[in-house]
Structure 1
């Protein structure tokens, strides 16, 4: 493989050659023009139509200093431009070879546009490095989350094969619960990943959102009551253009989160109009997100107490799924504490559907 010559060296040689060629062109062009003028308009019959040595000396005395000044200026300017570009080219080659920590240097005398180019390149390189680090964390976390249920499934099935466990209804129900947990984890990962890439497909249509919310709460009401919760609904009958399936998924995630981590007491689900949009909120009696993670509680796999979350079956994806669904609808997810210390999660969605669509339902 041929070694690559420096970018600065190549362009410096090219600019120097152009400067010399321009100087020679000016010199000989002036010489020819001067000769033509003398030939057409001779001062006298005795006058020589060609330039004398004195004339050439005078002409060279003007052109050569100008050529030196032009070469000096072009070299200084090229160094201000090409120094950062050489650093940029070197860093690009290092990043292409796998070194994501490489950065280009603009220098102190770089031109404004060149410095901006270097800054944009370094920002891109930093994002690539962050994405690679995040992907490594994701891979390790996903492997960790999948290992536990898979280990349980393998151990139970092997125990049944060896005759240690009887394949009765209770054991099979436990295995089904582990499979359901895996299915939820895979679907949550799929939702967050698709939303992050902007490819989360939504089937938007006008729906009576209060009916969808009531349907979800009816499914979980028995389990909530069995664990000491009291479910209350405060729903306005609004027609909203949403993907009903995704909204049900988000609401179920919020209710599951409250069932796992909130103190036993009241859980309120409300739907209300708010300006040009609607707010779907779930309120419990606390304790809510720990202060140290409240600002990043919607980031995937972020958990306040990992040991407690694993004991309660949490994967750290619930709130990130809700945020992904809200943002896919053009809305957002908000969190705050209530005056009495409860936790309030609000999905702010777009405005309600047109009345014509509402009349068609």
Structure 2
């Protein structure tokens, strides 16, 4: 890393102080010698057997007093170049600790390279901290918004039943259960994404025959999909992959539910192939796919192509984020591209753990 390749700040200060000490010594020694020689040449001193006379000592003392302020001035200017950025950094750190995340340290143009770099690194850290705080505030506001709608509906319906406005018949109760299911799904999706982002999403990785898992999942989903005008097409190779079968089913279910909400009625294709030792699990539909302006942000939380339609179909904008989180926890890959027929195609790669089995 950049910080590891630079000399330490303490080493730089030590070198600078050593240079000042040597400079002061050189100034005192040579300055004293030259001035003393000039004085002796102009005003010869009386001959004496003493090595240093009182006059010699007075001359040397005067010369030392004259050269030391020069060395002190140089040391002061150098120390200021080091300490000014550090004082600015300490001041900004106290402001950030007090809650002002917009505080930034400043380094003058004359600051030493290491102190200027230290200030730059601090400002980068402070900017990231401010961005994280802003993202967290937005995240909390979005979650509150997503929870408010079903809770409002539940409260209104239950209050209506208490007041006798609504009859507690089967249809009303089923609608309330649907709202509860939506809340449960939202909470579980939030939990999955949060655990994955913090690196605490637990997986039970075992050798798994993905084709069998997908066949069972397709059999369970087929009736509901058929009622909405969809049918599943399976193109599965017999492959064993080191994976958490439950989490993989969760990811596939999220992608199929996403196609069910946004794709035109028709086929949803699930394929499983071994490509260069990598198991590639793909889900595709017949269109219209994801808008180009949203494709780059499709896997971010709460990103929706059509918010109004998502509300009608019960989407919470977390489905693709859940898929991303699960694949990252597996150490795999996830990408979106347009299918040959113009629909959406999501490909999940499970690394080099794919083992094709002989039929």
1:69 alignment partner in structure 2? 70
1:195-234 pair list within 5 angstroms: 195-234=196-235
1:261 alignment partner in structure 2? 262
Deviations 1:281-333 (A, max 9, x none): 10111112111111111110111222222122111100001000000000121
Alignment TM-score, normalising by the size of structure 2: 0.83
The secondary structure found in structure 2 opposite 1:198 is coil
1:123-138 pair list within 5 angstroms: 123-138=124-139
Alignment TM-score, normalising by the size of structure 1: 0.83
2:100 alignment partner in structure 1? 99
Query: What displacement does 1:63 show?
Result: 3.0
Distance (whole Å) between structure 1 residues aligned to residue 325 and residue 316 of structure 2: 16
2:113 alignment partner in structure 1? 112
Query: What displacement does 1:209 show?
Result: 0.9
Distance (whole Å) between structure 1 residues aligned to residue 91 and residue 147 of structure 2: 41
1:47 alignment partner in structure 2? 49
Distance (whole Å) between structure 2 residues aligned to residue 65 and residue 333 of structure 1: 73
Tell whether 2:314 aligns with 1:313: yes
Query: What displacement does 1:354 show?
Result: 7.1
Query: What displacement does 1:220 show?
Result: 1.5
1:171-320 pair list within 5 angstroms: 171-320=172-321
Distance (whole Å) between structure 2 residues aligned to residue 287 and residue 64 of structure 1: 86
1:35 alignment partner in structure 2? none
The secondary structure found in structure 2 opposite 1:347 is strand
Query: What displacement does 1:231 show?
Result: 1.1
Distance (whole Å) between structure 2 residues aligned to residue 173 and residue 167 of structure 1: 10
Distance (whole Å) between structure 2 residues aligned to residue 153 and residue 264 of structure 1: 31
1:59 alignment partner in structure 2? 60
Deviations 1:110-144 (A, max 9, x none): 22221221111111111111111111111111111
Question: Structure 1 stretch 303-312 or stretch 89-98: which is displaced more?
Answer: 303-312
Aligned residues of 1:262 and 1:288 also touching (Cα < 8 A): yes
1:32 alignment partner in structure 2? none
1:336 alignment partner in structure 2? 337
The secondary structure found in structure 2 opposite 1:296 is coil
Aligned residues of 1:238 and 1:352 also touching (Cα < 8 A): no
Aligned residues of 2:277 and 2:354 also touching (Cα < 8 A): no
1:27-42 pair list within 5 angstroms: none
Aligned residues of 2:89 and 2:105 also touching (Cα < 8 A): yes
User: RMSD across aligned C-alpha pairs, in angstroms?
Assistant: 2.4
Distance (whole Å) between structure 2 residues aligned to residue 259 and residue 354 of structure 1: 31
Equivalent residues, number: 320
The secondary structure found in structure 2 opposite 1:351 is helix
Specify every segment of 5 or more residues in structure 1 that has no aligned partner in the other structure, as ranges: 1-10, 28-45
Query: What displacement does 1:107 show?
Result: 2.0
Specify every segment of 5 or more residues in structure 2 that has no aligned partner in the other structure, as ranges: 1-12, 30-47
Distance (whole Å) between structure 2 residues aligned to residue 219 and residue 328 of structure 1: 26
1:37 alignment partner in structure 2? none
